[in-house]
Structure 1
């Protein structure tokens, strides 16, 4: 059984709106998540996060403290991922609908108000509560869904 995959994600509030991305190639799903991705060896978690956010959004961010740990798995495929979410702030760039994700995974990015977030599918479900508070959260292991 492979080790759990480690990923980092950015909790970015800009003008009181939460930045989310849709990371399903070919628009296969309406599920939104925080920008970020897998950790590469030899770089710190914040360095990985700065790289991932730029790849997916074209934005440069500064990385603050961790605010959420989330984990999910697909026991049928032997997949298990642990995600560490960090509070981040945009330091450079402007969000653009036509930013080309070099991995070809993220096809949409959007700043959602708290009211809008209540009407979309997003993962993890605790993300809005964490984003609009100063708290620290943990989502226990759950089965992945798309």
Structure 2
């Protein structure tokens, strides 16, 4: 049986929203790269305790509030590594490189400017993704899209996926630019659910692929924007998304939905099993609302994606 190496890491935020990163010593494996602080979990040790111990030793801080963010499994012939990442949003003390390592506080949007080990890529995504992902529903007019979008933003939504299956490419492009006028000055990300070709034409920052478009994707570089996500409904699709370098996925349906009553719901237990073997941030989708957010996080989700909850 392959041995398990359990590692705890932390995305530490200060009150201004900055994230703490540390630089690996030059003489160590992947030296000179930046990383999220943490260390190995001892046998039988609770992860929260291990994280608190490591952060006290490395940074001189006492963790007072933390929660799971993402678990990333890696399997090798002779061992398995589980990277257990927590989000620390409150602590006592002044963080510093207690072991001599350089540390710095950076805003989430500039994390891409720093070189990290490849294994940290999903953490970089999870650290920047929100808990709530709004998917737009159908409306009678473009004016109604604007009204509903503004109402959703008033509820705290800051990432929107424009899904408008009833529009042709020209109409979709017009609506996208119309909603960008609302989103851009408010620092709200507006993603698109369309073809790779149209997403590139729109110079969209985020493209969400249907499962069919995911399976047709040849390479991640086909999309020129920063964020690529995909809809998944099976383990095979999840594996394809990971292999193609997608940044995050939605997994559905978690609960029964009125729009697709013929589709069997996964349920939280099956959802958790699939997420446990996924190396990407996963949004729970299907029959969910604001009240389900805590459950989604408990079962390993980045958060929830929904239409009717906020639209």
**Normalising to structure 2: TM-score of the pair?**
0.38
1:144 alignment counterpart: none
Match of 1:128, SS state, is: helix
1:139 aligns with 2:133: no
Long gaps (5+) in structure 2:
133-247, 249-274, 281-311
The alpha-carbon deviation at position 34 of structure 1 amounts to 1.2
Q: How many residues align?
A: 132
**Residues 13 and 131 of structure 1 are in contact (CA less than 8 Å); yes or no, is this contact kept in structure 2?**
no
Q: Distance in 2 between matches of 1:25 and 1:58?
A: 22
**Residues 85 and 123 of structure 2 are in contact (CA less than 8 Å); yes or no, is this contact kept in structure 1?**
no
The alpha-carbon deviation at position 74 of structure 1 amounts to 6.1
The alpha-carbon deviation at position 33 of structure 1 amounts to 1.6
The alpha-carbon deviation at position 83 of structure 1 amounts to 0.8
| Aligned with 2:110 (options 82, 105, 116) | 116
- Structure number having the greater helix percentage: 2
Long gaps (5+) in structure 1:
102-106, 141-146
| Aligned with 1:72 (options 71, 74, 98) | 74
Kindly tell me: are residues 80 and 108 of structure 1, through their superposed partners in 2, closer, same or farther at Cα, counting changes over 3 Å?
farther
**Normalising to structure 1: TM-score of the pair?**
0.73
Larger radius of gyration: 2
Alpha-carbon RMSD: 2.7
Q: Distance in 1 between matches of 2:36 and 2:112?
A: 15
Q: Greater relative contact order: 1 or 2 (C-alpha under 8 angstroms, separation 6 or more)? A: 1
- Structure number having the greater strand percentage: 1
1:13 aligns with 2:13: yes
Q: Distance in 2 between matches of 1:22 and 1:80?
A: 25
1:30 aligns with 2:32: yes
